[in-house]
């Protein structure tokens, strides 16, 4: 850690949809390139980076008879989709000269390492970017819950949730022009005001383990770097 960084170890959560770019599906090479540049900046500063990426751009668990796919089956398909995204990020980060590991909660040894907490920590200590694939490995969970769980396991200082908006608002800023952004808010207030930050499982895990969350706009160039330097951007959620 250099003196100018605020966090030693971060867990960056990116949604699968963010990777898709404007068309909403698949992987947009421009987004991949942009995110890799942003991530490299903080790795170069000595920050240890773990990443959880969603799968919504490829497949999101579906339920109901109309989908034709069983809920659990769909969730496993969603988890596999996250591995595809993890591999894409890995490849792109490596092009930028970073050392990386994909660790999957579902064993697929030809493709990536299985998730073993101690090994993940070791990789982070060696400044390798660790990308956690296949979610928690369990259906009925989300990649937000994965982000919270893995962050706690590897003792990350913070979960940085990169989104398309620059924080948590009093109301949906797309629908309500009077909505204002919180710079800081407590876990209790988020819960009481029913604000949407993460799903409740993920949120409760963070709250119970006193793990702060920062919601920020990952598409704003330099925002990740500014955050790790301790700038007051996005919304910080703490106890
Ligand atoms: N998923 C799951 N268990 C997990 C993580 C993910 O079953 O631990 C499945 C679930 O179906 C989910 C999909 O994988 O809808 C993709 O993850 P998510 O929706 O969280 O991706 P994002 O919305 O962040 O792109």
Domain ranges for the chain: 9-238
Amino acid 3: pLDDT: 53
Residue to probe by mutation, ligand 1, list 19, 59, 63, 75, most atoms within 8 Å of CB: 75
Task: Report how far ligand 1's centroid is from the alpha carbon of 175 (Å).
Answer: 26
The binding site consists of: 13-16, 55-56, 60, 75, 136-143, 163, 169, 172
Q: Are 89 and 83 in contact (CB under 8 A)?
A: no
In 77-157, DSSP assigns E strands to: 100-104, 113-114, 129-133
Residues in the chain, overall count: 239
Q: Are 80 and 102 in contact (CB under 8 A)?
A: no
Instruction: Name the fold adopted by 9-238.
Output: Carbamate kinase (3.40.1160)
Does residue 162 line the site of ligand 1, with CB under 6 A? no
Does residue 138 line the site of ligand 1, with CB under 6 A? yes
Task: Report how far ligand 1's centroid is from the alpha carbon of 15 (Å).
Answer: 9
Task: Report how far ligand 1's centroid is from the alpha carbon of 202 (Å).
Answer: 12
Strands 158-163 and 129-133: unpaired
For the chain, the C-alpha Rg in angstroms (whole number) is: 17
Looking at ligand 1, which residue's alpha carbon is closest to its atom 23? 56
Two tokens at 145? 């819950």
Task: Report how far ligand 1's centroid is from the alpha carbon of 122 (Å).
Answer: 26
Amino acid 172: pLDDT: 85
Does residue 85 line the site of ligand 1, with CB under 6 A? no
- The distance of Cα 43 from the centroid of its chain, to the nearest Å, equals 16
| Residue 105 Cα: closest atom of ligand 1 | 8
Task: Report how far ligand 1's centroid is from the alpha carbon of 143 (Å).
Answer: 5
Q: Are 147 and 11 in contact (CB under 8 A)?
A: yes
Amino acid 22: pLDDT: 81
In whole angstroms, what is the distance from residue 166 CA to residue 23 CA?
Answer: 21
Does residue 234 line the site of ligand 1, with CB under 6 A? no
Backbone angles phi, psi at 44, to 5 degrees: -60, -25
In whole angstroms, what is the distance from residue 227 CA to residue 216 CA?
Answer: 9
Amino acid 60: pLDDT: 83
51: enclosing H helix or E strand: strand 48-53
The conformation of residue 19, written as its DSSP 8-state character, comes to H
- The distance of Cα 78 from the centroid of its chain, to the nearest Å, equals 15
Looking at ligand 1, which residue's alpha carbon is closest to its atom 3? 141
Q: What is the ipTM of this complex?
A: 0.96
In whole angstroms, what is the distance from residue 216 CA to residue 237 CA?
Answer: 11
DSSP string, 159-225: EEEEESSSS-BSS-TTT-TT--B-SEEEHHHHHHTT--SS-HHHHHHHHHTT--EEEEETTSTTHHH
- Please give the chain's pLDDT, 239 residues, in tens: 455 789 999 999 999 998 997 877 799 999 999 999 999 999 999 999 999 999 999 988 776 667 789 999 999 999 999 999 999 999 999 999 999 999 999 999 999 999 999 999 999 999 999 999 999 999 999 999 999 999 999 999 999 999 988 999 998 888 899 999 999 999 999 999 999 899 999 999 999 999 999 999 999 999 999 999 999 999 999 99
| Residue 60 Cα: closest atom of ligand 1 | 15
Amino acid 2: pLDDT: 53
């Amino acid at each position: 850690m250099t003196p100018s960084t605020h966090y030693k170890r971060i867990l960056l959560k990116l949604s699968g949809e963010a990777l898709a770019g404007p068309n909403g599906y698949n992987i947009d090479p421009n987004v991949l390139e942009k995110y890799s540049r942003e991530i490299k900046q903080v790795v170069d500063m000595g920050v240890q980076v773990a990443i959880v990426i969603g799968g919504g751009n490829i497949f999101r668990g579906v339920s109901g008879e109309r989908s034709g796919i069983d809920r659990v089956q769909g969730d496993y398909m969603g988890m596999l989709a996250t591995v595809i995204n993890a591999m894409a990020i890995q490849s792109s980060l490596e092009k930028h000269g970073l050392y990386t590991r994909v660790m999957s909660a579902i064993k697929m040894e030809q493709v990536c390492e299985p998730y073993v907490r101690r090994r993940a920590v070791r990789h982070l200590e060696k400044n390798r970017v660790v990308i956690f694939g296949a979610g928690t490995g369990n259906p009925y969970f989300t990649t937000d819950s994965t982000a919270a769980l893995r962050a706690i396991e590897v003792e990350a200082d913070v979960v940085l949730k990169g989104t398309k908006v620059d924080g948590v608002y009093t109301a949906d800023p797309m629908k309500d022009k009077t909505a204002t952004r919180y710079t800081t808010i407590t876990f209790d207030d988020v819960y009481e005001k029913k604000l949407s930050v993460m799903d409740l499982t993920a949120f409760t895990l963070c709250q119970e383990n006193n793990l702060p969350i920062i919601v920020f706009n990952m598409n704003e160039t330099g925002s990740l770097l500014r955050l790790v330097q301790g700038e007051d951007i996005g919304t910080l959620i703490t106890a």
